[in-house]
Structure 1
Amino acid sequence: MTSIPALELTAGLRSGNSTAPRLTWYGPDSERVELSGRVLDNWVAKTSNLLQDELDAEPGMRLRLALPAHWKALVWALAGWQLGLETVLDGAQADFLATDNPAGSDGNYDAVVAVALPALAMRWSGDLPAGCLDYAAEVRSHGDVFMPHADPDPSARAVLTSQGRSVLHQDLITGFAVPHAEGARLHVPADAGLEAVLANALGAWHQGGSVVLTHPDVPLTDKLVADERIHGS
């Protein structure tokens, strides 16, 4: 099987100290979600399997993330990358759309997936447009281990940055991720935007670190810094 950095990263999440926190989310209304490496990899695997087995996603196809900087958006990006998809972060056309606003989706897609953002959501609240897939209701039925049906192409594009720069799958860490110190417990504010959050998270995880992601309405207090042991850069 061809290896790409995203596959190596998810393998690292489930090996070594896989029970240590890798992603902690602080959302509105006192919401706090903590994912260990093993749990994060589990979410990513289930999402990749949903894409591959239910939506017939294949390497080289395009996945648009019309999502805010949120822990579920990071799961979706990793899932697409380890499958060999190109992650689209702007309004460009794509094969698949993952969105928290399916009623406002534009363009033609092979599939539209509604992503409910509340951590405990078991299904989308309210009505969905015809043909729209409910991520919360469907993802849990998919396998905990991802086995790709086709090898990803390391020389295919993984992401197009906001500066218009193409980054290939093989260069995802060296050409897109922001370098961070080994083992950093990194704070990343969601209001930095999804691209910046993804780049910083990849850089931290690549060095065995972890990420504390905070919603724009959540202030970074001294207590939060101390409680989460935020350190490094």
Structure 2
Amino acid sequence: MTTIPVIDLMGSLRSGNSTAPRLTWYGPDSERVELSGRVLDNWVAKTSNLLQDELDAEPGMRLRLALPAHWKAMVWALAGWQLGLETVLDGGPADFMATDNPGGAMDQYDAVIAVALPALAMRWPGDLPAGCLDYAAEVRSHGDVFMPHTDPDPSSPALTHQGRAVPHGELITGFACPHTEGVRLHVPADSGLESALANALGAWQQGGSVVMTHPAVALTDKLLADERIHGS
């Protein structure tokens, strides 16, 4: 089986100290979500299975993430990369779009997936355009283990970064930010999704973890101490 760095990374997150926090999210209205390596891998596997089994996604297809920096956006990016998709962050053409604001331009995509951002959302709050898939309502029914139907190509693009197409095989070396071993890294959501992904990949690659905060959340001394944020 051909592997790409994200597949190896997901394997490391679900093995070893898999119950340790890997992604912690602070959102509005005192929302706090903590995902261990095992739970993060579970969300990513379910999302990859949704893409592959329900939407017929295959390696080389393009997934637009019209989402803010958020823990669910991180799950979507990892799921797409695990499947061998190219993640589109700049609004370019794509086969699929995951968005927290579904509406017009539905006909530009093979499928549009509505992603409700509140952690406890069990379905989209309100009506959805015809043909739009409700992520919260659908994802939990998919399998906890992802087995690709087709091996991803390490030389195919994972995303475009600074005007350069970064292949899947170079996603860690050519996109992820370098960080120290075991880092507990603060990632502000207002730095944008691309920056959040680059920093999180670099932290996880070093066995570290990430604390992401919504722009409305104050980074207090208490939060820093409670989350043991350290390193770089």
TM-score, scaled relative to structure 1: 0.98
Counterpart position of 1:208? 207
Counterpart position of 1:44? 44
The answer to whether residue 99 in structure 2 is matched with residue 96 in structure 1 is no
Q: Distance in 2 between matches of 1:159 and 1:107?
A: 23
TM-aligned CA deviation for residue 106 of structure 1: 5.8
SS at match of 2:177: coil
Counterpart position of 1:119? 119
SS at match of 1:180: coil
Aligned residue identity for 2:152: P
SS at match of 2:103: helix
Counterpart position of 1:84? 84
SS at match of 2:22: strand
Q: Is the 8 A contact 1:22 1:35 kept in 2?
A: yes
Matches within 5 A, 1:140-159: 140-159=140-159
Deviation by residue 1:141-180 (Cα, 9 ceiling, x = unmatched): 000000000000000000012x211100000000000000
TM-aligned CA deviation for residue 105 of structure 1: 4.6
Counterpart position of 2:71? 71
Counterpart position of 2:26? 26
Q: Distance in 2 between matches of 1:214 and 1:121?
A: 19
Q: Distance in 2 between matches of 1:113 and 1:107?
A: 13
TM-score, scaled relative to structure 2: 0.99
Q: Is the 8 A contact 2:106 2:112 kept in 1?
A: no
Q: Distance in 2 between matches of 1:197 and 1:58?
A: 25
Deviation by residue 1:188-227 (Cα, 9 ceiling, x = unmatched): 0000000000000000000000000000010111000000
Q: Distance in 2 between matches of 1:109 and 1:15?
A: 36
TM-aligned CA deviation for residue 76 of structure 1: 0.1
Change (3 A) 1:229 1:105: farther
Q: Is the 8 A contact 1:21 1:35 kept in 2?
A: yes
The answer to whether residue 169 in structure 2 is matched with residue 170 in structure 1 is yes
The answer to whether residue 185 in structure 2 is matched with residue 186 in structure 1 is yes
Root-mean-square deviation (Å) = 0.8
Q: Is the 8 A contact 1:93 1:107 kept in 2?
A: no
TM-aligned CA deviation for residue 104 of structure 1: 4.4
Aligned residue identity for 2:219: L
Aligned residue identity for 1:187: H
Aligned residue identity for 1:74: M
Q: Distance in 2 between matches of 1:107 and 1:165?
A: 28
Change (3 A) 1:179 1:107: farther
Runs of 4+, deviation exceeding 6 Å: none
Q: Distance in 2 between matches of 1:87 and 1:178?
A: 17
Q: Is the 8 A contact 1:23 1:212 kept in 2?
A: yes
Q: Distance in 2 between matches of 1:165 and 1:225?
A: 35
Q: Distance in 2 between matches of 1:35 and 1:49?
A: 19
Give the fraction of aligned pairs with identical amino acids, expressed as a percent: 83
Change (3 A) 1:164 1:107: farther
SS at match of 1:90: coil
